């Protein structure tokens, strides 16, 4: 962060209403661009290429029984990717409280956002070197990149209450997701051209995949420059212990503070459960499509491209629905759709790309909206001045604690050898999450957090 930015940073006590409207809009546009930068990782790397490719690398290194042995532990090659995702979010759980403490005590979210983003971008770019039998390298880079994006999103999400007023947060949050899905679609088109035409470019299929993986890291790093130039840090009163020594203590203090806001904690619990299901579907869909349904990589890329295109419309459309029916009812409706998607996925016939495209379309229509509205809804439940620490706990629910779903998925496959059993096991996350969310009185929760209650929520 430049000295000029530090000198002109807005004091933490000011609200969005006291900020010049043009300046706030400029900051919002810069905020959107971090979604534009990092969503390519989630789309091209986590959802499309890395799962099937890392699984193929692990299978090439497996013994006669189909097991690899990282650190001497027997792991079925088809479960390695899911287990690595679980490990990555455990690492994020360890790191996020330290980062949240540092941001709260210094007010300097932007340098920490830069560090997390560029560590993740570098790890993703390093996936170019994932070939042969290097499944351990792939698992390590996945853990680093996935933990880094989780940490960066703590800081990114914590800007939302500072750059948007209560009545505009659903729209601002939805636009951020729409920006992300737009970039994901754009890069997937380029990936599709490179992958399907790799022979004409003088590349092997493996070379094309590794270039697609690495290009996501380059994109992530390049477009992170925009939010770093436009977002502003807010001053806080210095003092207290160092972040490393107090990170976990601050998290415990945050959770104790949340006990004074039990309705906020109830929403967070509901979100933890249903979002675990969402994140697992996103990360394991390509493995399911390639390994269980026998679909080729081109089909998977075009299906995820369809998801990206429809997710833009879905995020904006669900934002409009929330203005009419409220965010809570709109999210509950999306969770019903998610449940039906998993049931349909269980019965999906192998080798039938048309049915897979239909399922991808349904995912696209609910994916962006359910995530965007959850983020904006939680922002109403955060007491003023505690944005970073509360969003640190939220991010643990969003990514940092989303280890149970991949673990359940991986264990189900390891025990049964069936990806269909693995995918249907995720229904429980959406059913339980819906019940927990339905029990939260949102308007009462907003008022209890000391925030103005929007006309429709």
pLDDT tens sequence across 146-193? 999 988 988 898 888 888 877 787 788 878 878 888 898 899 899 989
**When comparing pLDDT for 392 and 7, which is higher?**
392
**When comparing pLDDT for 399 and 42, which is higher?**
42
Strand partners, 76: 67
Residue 19 CB neighbours (<10 A): 17
H helices of 41-107, where?
A: 50-61, 80-106
Max mean pLDDT among 115-124, 229-238, 344-353 falls in 115-124
HSE, CB side, 13 Å, CA atoms: give it for residue 49: 31
In this prediction, residues 418-427 reach a mean pLDDT of 90
**Predicted model pTM:** 0.72
Share of the chain above pLDDT 70, in %: 89
In this prediction, residues 98-109 reach a mean pLDDT of 78
Residue 246 CB neighbours (<10 A): 19
Digit-coded pLDDT (tens) for 62-72: 998 889 898 88
Q: What is the DSSP string of 159-181?
A: THHHHS-GGGHHHHHHHHHHHHH
Examine the pLDDT at 243 and tell me if it is beyond 50. Answer: no
Strand partners, 67: 76
In this prediction, residue 158 carries a pLDDT of 80
In this prediction, residue 399 carries a pLDDT of 57
Share of the chain above pLDDT 90, in %: 39
Residues 6+ away with beta carbon under 8 Å from 95: 147, 151
In this prediction, residues 306-310 reach a mean pLDDT of 84
In this prediction, residue 181 carries a pLDDT of 82
In this prediction, residue 410 carries a pLDDT of 81
Q: Measuring CA to CA, how many Å separate 164 from each of 13, 17, 58?
A: 15, 9, 45
Cβ pair 388, 104 in contact under 8 A: yes
Examine the pLDDT at 252 and tell me if it is beyond 80. Answer: no
Cβ pair 376, 174 in contact under 8 A: yes
In this prediction, residue 182 carries a pLDDT of 87
Residues 6+ away with beta carbon under 8 Å from 60: 132, 133
Examine the pLDDT at 18 and tell me if it is beyond 50. Answer: no
Confidence of residue 100 (pLDDT cuts 50, 70, 90): confident
Least confident interval from 221-225, 407-411, 432-436: 407-411
- Residue 319 phi/psi, 5-degree rounding, is -65, -40
Confidence of residue 14 (pLDDT cuts 50, 70, 90): very low
In this prediction, residue 332 carries a pLDDT of 95
For 155-314, strand residue ranges (E) read none
Examine the pLDDT at 400 and tell me if it is beyond 60. Answer: no
Mean pLDDT of the chain: 84
**When comparing pLDDT for 273 and 384, which is higher?**
273
In this prediction, residue 19 carries a pLDDT of 47
In this prediction, residues 249-265 reach a mean pLDDT of 78
Digit-coded pLDDT (tens) for 38-64: 999 988 998 889 988 999 999 999 998
In this prediction, residues 241-262 reach a mean pLDDT of 66
């Amino acid at each position: 962060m430049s000295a000029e930015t530090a000198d002109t940073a807005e004091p933490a006590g000011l609200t969005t209403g006291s900020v010049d409207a043009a300046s706030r809009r400029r900051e919002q546009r810069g905020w959107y661009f971090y979604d534009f930068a990092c969503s390519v990782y989630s789309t091209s790397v986590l959802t499309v290429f890395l799962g099937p490719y890392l699984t193929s690398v692990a299978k090439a290194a497996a013994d006669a029984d189909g097991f690899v042995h990282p650190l001497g532990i027997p792991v079925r090659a088809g479960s390695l990717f899911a287990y690595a995702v679980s490990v990555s979010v455990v690492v994020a759980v360890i790191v996020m409280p330290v980062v949240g403490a540092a941001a709260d005590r210094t007010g300097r979210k932007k340098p920490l956002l830069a560090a997390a983003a560029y560590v993740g971008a570098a790890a993703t770019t390093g996936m170019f070197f994932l070939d042969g039998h290097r499944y351990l390298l792939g698992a390590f880079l996945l853990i680093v990149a996935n933990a880094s994006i989780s940490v960066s999103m703590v800081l990114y999400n914590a800007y939302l209450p500072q750059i948007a007023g209560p009545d505009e947060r659903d729209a601002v949050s939805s636009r951020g997701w729409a920006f992300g899905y737009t970039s994901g679609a754009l890069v997937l088109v380029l990936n599709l051209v490179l992958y399907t035409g790799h022979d004409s470019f003088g590349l092997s299929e493996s070379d094309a995949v590794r270039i697609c993986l690495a290009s996501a890291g380059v994109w992530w790093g390049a477009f992170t420059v925009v939010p770093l130039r436009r977002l502003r840090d807010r001053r806080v009163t210095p003092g207290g212990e160092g972040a490393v020594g107090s990170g976990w203590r601050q998290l415990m203090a945050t959770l104790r503070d949340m006990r004074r806001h039990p309705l906020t904690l109830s929403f967070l619990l509901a979100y933890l459960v249903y979002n675990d299901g969402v994140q697992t579907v996103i990360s394991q869909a390509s493995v399911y499509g390639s390994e269980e349904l026998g679909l080729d990589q081109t089909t998977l890329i075009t299906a995820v491209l369809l998801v990206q295109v429809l997710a833009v419309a879905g995020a904006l459309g669900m934002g409009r629905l929330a203005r009419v029916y409220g965010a809570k009812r709109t999210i509950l409706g999306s969770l019903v759709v998610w449940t039906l998607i998993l049931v349909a996925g269980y019965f999906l016939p192998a080798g039938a790309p048309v049915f897979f495209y239909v399922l991808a379309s349904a995912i696209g229509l609910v994916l962006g909206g359910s995530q965007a509205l959850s983020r904006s809804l939680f922002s109403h439940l955060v007491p003023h001045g505690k944005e970073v620490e509360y969003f640190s706990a939220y991010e643990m629910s969003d990514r940092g604690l989303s280890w149970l779903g991949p673990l359940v998925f991986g264990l189900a496959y390891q025990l049964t050898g069936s990806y269909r059993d693995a995918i249907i096991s995720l229904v429980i996350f959406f059913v339980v999450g819906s019940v927990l969310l339905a029990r939260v009185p949102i308007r009462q929760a907003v008022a209890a957090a000391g925030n103005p209650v929007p006309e429709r929520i």
